[in-house]
Chains A and B, each alone.
Chain A
């Protein structure tokens, strides 16, 4: 069973800030990692797949990096629409991280 651990659980940031979220896997998952954004009452939305590939239509301020067991999601300049919960997910066996809430500072 592959465990995914995100940090931090909550992040307070201002518009324009650079934001970084970390996701660690309990064993190597190569680059089989995705990032999702979820807003209240909505389904998650795919942002990044294969650790660093940007999903079509997703703003370029979002980027992903990493391989093996450590991964990051970076928002280069936080926008008002970006306040949400972010989840990482490994798709070797489909487990998700516990989520990181990005809130207004």
Chain B
């Protein structure tokens, strides 16, 4: 059974870079067939998809965040990562990593989420 776990700093200063890693267990990222996403949820609000990455390194980002987002994958560690640059208070959210069943597919497995607060 696939499991995903987010890790990274819970507090980031404004204008700095938010960096998170998702460790996947139960399935090899390099086996292909799945895409790996980041999704966030502002406190008390709805869900916003940030982007996805494939094991090959190909990516697709939400156009509204594209200029500030970079995703990468480390198949040797079975991890994928998110970097969000120039953060502001509006980036305070719970960040989830999740698995897509396809490039255009639903999210069938999610991490537990990690709260990242942007504050000085």
Write the residues of chain A forming the contact surface with B, with a CB cutoff of 8 angstroms.
Answer: 1, 32, 34, 36, 42-46, 49, 55, 87, 89, 91-92, 94-99
Q: Which residue of B lies closest to A48 (CB)?
A: B106
What total of A-B pairs shows CB separation below 8 Å?
A: 44
Kindly report which residue of chain B lies nearest to residue A44, judged by CB atoms.
Answer: B110
Q: Give complex CA distance A49, B104 in Å.
A: 11
Q: Using Cβ atoms and an 8 Å threshold, which residues of chain A touch B101?
A: 49
**Number of B residues, CB within 8 Å of A:** 19
Measured between beta carbons, the chain B residues less than 8 angstroms from A89 are: 47, 106-107
B52 to chain A: closest residue by CB: A94
> Are A43 and B49 touching (Cβ within 8 A)?
no
Residues of B within 8 A of A (CB): 46-49, 62-63, 96, 98, 100-101, 104-108, 110-113
A-B contact list, 28 entries, CB within 8 Å? A1-B63, A32-B104, A34-B107, A42-B112, A43-B98, A43-B110, A43-B112, A43-B113, A44-B47, A45-B110, A46-B106, A46-B107, A49-B105, A49-B106, A49-B108, A55-B108, A87-B46, A87-B47, A89-B106, A89-B107, A91-B100, A92-B104, A96-B46, A96-B47, A96-B49, A97-B46, A98-B46, A99-B46
Asked if A44 contacts B107 (CB within 8 A), the reply is yes
Asked whether, in the complex, the Cβ of A94 is within 8 Å of the Cβ of B62, the reply is yes
Q: Give B45 Cβ to nearest chain A Cβ, in Å.
A: 8
Query: How far is it, in angstroms, between the C-alpha of A30 and the C-alpha of B100 when the chains are bound?
Result: 18
Q: Given the complex, which residues of B lie within 8 Å of A98, measured CB to CB?
A: 46
Instruction: Decide if B46 touches A43 in the complex (CB within 8 Å).
Output: no
Q: Which residues of A contact B108 (CB under 8 A)?
A: 46, 49, 55
CA of A89 to CA of B100, assembled, Å: 13
